Amino acid sequence: MRASGSDPIREAARLLAERRNAVALTGAGISVESGIPSFRGAQGMWAKYDPMEYATLHAFMQSPRKVWEMLTEMVSVCGFASPNAAHKGLAALEGMGVVRAVITQNVDGLHQAAGSRRVIEYHGSMEELICVHCWKRYLTRERWTPGAVPLCDCDEILKPNVVLFGEPIPWLAQEVAEEEARTCGVLMVIGTSAQVSPACDIPRIAKESGAAVVEINPEETSLSGNVTDIHLRGSASEVLRRILEEFSADEETPSSPSHKIK
């Protein structure tokens, strides 16, 4: 890879090329350019819906029809969205053997739609509904119609199989995600404010296990300046486009690192 000098993008690309066992942790910011609002910030979902009233398991059990007002918007927005250059960039890096897994807090399925094969859905998925009484599962597209509250065969109201506040992380997802963090060489943290635990612990686990932490976010977060080694300020799609550019520039350079580590 060309000498990095003071270019953080080039430095990050050099790290990825050298270590070649990167894992990505993604949040709502990576899907903003696909038209899905993030949660926090002025335009975020939580500016419109109080998460304590609309996004806790308790709220769902108390008034599922009310919670479905918010969920209807989320299911519709996710349903219309398609992957952007950032999702596709991660899938390309997986194809090149640089990224080996994506841990996502998102429930929109866009990483898989972009072609990523190893995706750990840490907060579940909107593509499935589950009955919180008999645990029967359904595909959302087969059981949900816009404006209607979906019912189980047992007549109870169904919930998207996503993790609401107050619910545990699916244990297998948590186990696998933490193992990936403990054993990766680079953790790319993309589009998350890192305010929600236990997902926000993943960068610390990776750092303590010796990984380099590369953060991609136009804003500072609680990670920047302490856990983060390289902060790439910018939108996920623009930054990943430039990282891939570095790799393709490398292919044209006869002395590319894929042949030797500098």
Nearer to ligand APR, 98 or 163 (CB): 163
Is 27 a binder of ligand APR (CB under 6 A)?
A: yes
Nearer to ligand APR, 73 or 156 (CB): 73
Q: Which residues 59-78 are close enough to bind ligand APR by CB under 6 A?
A: none
Question: Which residues, 6 or more positions from 185, have their beta carbon under 8 angstroms from its beta carbon?
Answer: 15, 19, 20, 21, 22, 211, 212
Is 8 a binder of ligand APR (CB under 6 A)?
A: no
Residue 32 near residue 111, CB atoms below 8 Å: no
Is 44 a binder of ligand APR (CB under 6 A)?
A: yes
Is 123 a binder of ligand APR (CB under 6 A)?
A: yes
Q: Is 111 a catalytic residue?
A: no
Is 112 a binder of ligand APR (CB under 6 A)?
A: no
Query: What is the closest distance, in whole angstroms, from the C-beta atom of residue 256 to ligand APR in the complex?
Result: 28
Is 195 a binder of ligand APR (CB under 6 A)?
A: yes
Binding-site size for ligand APR (CB under 6 A) equals 23
| Candidate list 158, 186, 236, 240; residue touching ligand APR; CB under 6 A | 236
Tokens for 256, please give them: 């590319």
